[in-house]
A and B are shown apart, each in its own frame.
Chain A
Amino acid sequence: MFGYVVQRVLIMIPTLLVVSIATFVIIQAPPGDYLSNEIAELLEQGDKAAAEKLEFLRKEFGLDKPMLEQYAVWLGVWPGTNGYSGILQGDLGWSFEFQQPVLDVVGDRLLLSFVLNFVTILFVYAVSFPIGVYTAVRQYSFGDHAMTFVGYIGLATPNFLLALILLFLAKTWFGVSIGGLMDDEFIGQPMSWDKFVSVMQHLVVPVIVIGTSGTAGMIRRLRANLLDELQKQYVVTARTKGMRPTRLLIKYPLRMALNPFVADIGNLLPQMISGSAIVAVVMSLPTSGPMLVHALQSQDQYLAGSFLLFLSFLTVIGMFVSDLLLAVLDPRIRLGAEAGR
């Protein structure tokens, strides 16, 4: 297993490097940058000194340097105006729009995004697992049909629409406003029990909204996989030998059916963060999604680049975790595999 972990980590490193290069190139690809857009506006307003100001700021932030050098400075392997100060040193760069270090701008939002998405992942697994197993074991029962119907609705309904409906229902039926992730009085305050309770109360609806489609998809996959396993010869043999159904289910088919379930973890983390952007806009959630969209629109390159790199990092880590879990869950030879190199 140790050898497997090392080889898997070895693959991750160049992947992350390539991802960081691709991220930086994509951010730089559109013509101009945040500063030139800003200065263009000033010139339109008749600011004569705007061109000189642009040159000064471009030099100050190193935007006049070749792209490769800018990338090396951003990564922290080449000295910039502040010496070696990049991602490797924990400095994500400067946000032109917020006039603050990127780390300060995204700090709280990343934490809130993490909390929201972590709870959503737990919700997706906690709901889809028992329903997926039930619908497979009780195939074509009333419960199976009902759950399948609800699942299809979950898959077909856009998240932002569900968010609007729940916002309306919460307001008209319960008289509560569920926009945001906490009551206004707690914004900017240090963490306290009351603030924690407020965050938890506000999390309920976003978690349901963001998690619904993922839950529905997961139920369908688990049901299909488990049905495949339950129809296999070894299950029939175990039944005829008198093995108890629950024990049989847990010991073999469920374990095999879990493979795609676990493999999904890799895609789940980035999907949750990037996929929840529209919901966050609709529900006024102070998470990272809306900020990423805005940073991309305004070409705030270090802010957008750091976000994209973070999402890629989550994908790579997610794939790593899912591969490790798969290796533990199912260390079987694949047919045709050339074992014994």
Chain B
Amino acid sequence: MSVHHYPPHSLLADYARAGVGIVITAVPLIASGSFGVVAMIILAVMMLFLVYGLRTLLRQFTQIDVSEIGIRSIGPVARAITWDEVRKVSLRYYSTRRDRQKGWLQLSVKGPKGSIALDSQLDDFPTVLETIFREVSERGISPDQTTLENLKLYEDNRGKAA
């Protein structure tokens, strides 16, 4: 059994993004002092950053427990999926840069009553990844082509970095 959490420095970056987003949307909203169509759009964008900030806050108080029984998130939004219940596992890569470098991975484990999504910011993410894919492959669940490619490239990259 291993327990993982999001390290403070990665959460700080997310808090900064949420904060900057809220400020740069709130300033014109307050300065304009009206609630026209444009202001409504800005308000919607501000809500997006607010939700992002709340998600980061939830992450701060969430721990991920990976054991031989299954995976569970411990915290304000608790969820547990045993390995036998896993229906799908996917590994996706996102990057906001045009050359698609310096992005991050998102691992999603889907169970019957919901899913648990983890970002590569999680501490000891490679171990979590390895455990999850070992457990699901033992149970005959085959991930999609993109997930397999990402897994292979991630391991290759780590191998090169080492």
A163 CB to closest chain B CB, in angstroms?
A: 35
CB atoms of A84 and B125 under 8 A apart: no
Contacts A77-B32, A333-B93; is A341 near B120 (CB within 8 Å)? yes
- Give the residue of B32, B52, B95 whose beta carbon is less than 8 angstroms from that of A2: B52
Contacts A2-B55, A10-B17; is A332 near B146 (CB within 8 Å)? yes
Question: In the complex, what residues of A have CB within 8 A of residue B39's CB?
Answer: 88-89
A258 CB to closest chain B CB, in angstroms?
A: 14
CB atoms of A10 and B36 under 8 A apart: no
Fill in one digit per residue for B25-37: 1 if any A CB lies within 8 Å of its CB, else 0: 1011101111011
CB atoms of A339 and B28 under 8 A apart: no
> Which residues, 48 to 106 on B, are CB-close (under 8 Å) to A?
48-49, 52, 55, 92-96, 99-106
- Among residues of A, the one whose C-beta sits closest to the C-beta of B145 is A252
CB atoms of B146 and A88 under 8 A apart: no
Contacts A88-B28, A338-B101; is A331 near B34 (CB within 8 Å)? no
CB atoms of B120 and A89 under 8 A apart: no
> Which residues, 311 to 341 on A, are CB-close (under 8 Å) to B?
323, 327, 330-341
Contacts A8-B96, A14-B24; is A333 near B157 (CB within 8 Å)? yes
- Give the residue of A6, A75, A87, A339 whose beta carbon is less than 8 angstroms from that of B103: A339
In the bound complex, how far is the Cα of B153 from the Cα of A14, in angstroms?
34
Contacts A334-B101, A337-B157; is A10 near B20 (CB within 8 Å)? yes
CB atoms of B94 and A4 under 8 A apart: yes
In the bound complex, how far is the Cα of B10 from the Cα of A337, in angstroms?
18
A262 CB to closest chain B CB, in angstroms?
A: 14
In the bound complex, how far is the Cα of B101 from the Cα of A114, in angstroms?
35
Question: In the complex, what residues of A have CB within 8 A of residue B37's CB?
Answer: 90
CB atoms of A77 and B101 under 8 A apart: no
- Give the residue of B32, B100, B119, B126 whose beta carbon is less than 8 angstroms from that of A89: B32
CB atoms of A88 and B103 under 8 A apart: no
Decide yes or no whether B45 CB sits under 8 A from chain A.
yes
- Among residues of B, the one whose C-beta sits closest to the C-beta of A326 is B100
- Give the residue of A9, A14, A88, A340 whose beta carbon is less than 8 angstroms from that of B154: A340
CB atoms of A333 and B28 under 8 A apart: no
CB atoms of A1 and B105 under 8 A apart: no
- Among residues of B, the one whose C-beta sits closest to the C-beta of A341 is B104
B124 CB to closest chain A CB, in angstroms?
A: 11
Decide yes or no whether A11 CB sits under 8 A from chain B.
yes
In the bound complex, how far is the Cα of B25 from the Cα of A87, in angstroms?
14
Decide yes or no whether B149 CB sits under 8 A from chain A.
yes
Decide yes or no whether A170 CB sits under 8 A from chain B.
no
Decide yes or no whether A76 CB sits under 8 A from chain B.
yes
In the bound complex, how far is the Cα of B105 from the Cα of A327, in angstroms?
12
- Among residues of A, the one whose C-beta sits closest to the C-beta of B36 is A90
- Give the residue of A3, A13, A78, A340 whose beta carbon is less than 8 angstroms from that of B125: A340
In the bound complex, how far is the Cα of B149 from the Cα of A88, in angstroms?
45
Decide yes or no whether B121 CB sits under 8 A from chain A.
yes
CB atoms of A339 and B100 under 8 A apart: no
B96 CB to closest chain A CB, in angstroms?
A: 5
Question: In the complex, what residues of B have CB within 8 A of residue A2's CB?
Answer: 52, 55
In the bound complex, how far is the Cα of B44 from the Cα of A13, in angstroms?
13
A21 CB to closest chain B CB, in angstroms?
A: 14
CB atoms of A84 and B102 under 8 A apart: no
Question: In the complex, what residues of A have CB within 8 A of residue B92's CB?
Answer: 1, 331
In the bound complex, how far is the Cα of B101 from the Cα of A337, in angstroms?
5
Fill in one digit per residue for A1-42: 1 if any B CB lies within 8 Å of its CB, else 0: 111111111110110000000000000000000000000000
CB atoms of A1 and B106 under 8 A apart: yes
B14, B17, B45, B93: which has the most chain A beta carbons within 10 Å?
A: B93
CB atoms of B96 and A76 under 8 A apart: no
CB atoms of B94 and A88 under 8 A apart: no
Question: In the complex, what residues of B have CB within 8 A of residue A4's CB?
Answer: 94, 96
Decide yes or no whether A86 CB sits under 8 A from chain B.
yes
CB atoms of A339 and B105 under 8 A apart: yes
- Give the residue of A3, A9, A75, A327 whose beta carbon is less than 8 angstroms from that of B45: A9
Contacts A6-B52, A8-B96, A9-B45; is A88 near B24 (CB within 8 Å)? no
Minimum-distance CB pairs A-B, first 3? A90-B36, A88-B32, A331-B92
Q: Which residues of B contact A (CB under 8 A)?
A: 10, 14, 17-18, 20-21, 24-25, 27-29, 31-34, 36-39, 42, 45, 48-49, 52, 55, 92-96, 99-106, 119-121, 125-126, 145-146, 149-150, 153-154, 157-158
Extra 8 A-B pairs, beta carbons < 8 Å, given A89-B34, A341-B10 = A6-B49, A84-B32, A86-B32, A323-B96, A327-B94, A332-B153, A333-B153, A340-B105
Q: List 6 A-B contacts (CB under 8 A).
A: A89-B39, A331-B150, A333-B93, A333-B103, A334-B93, A339-B93
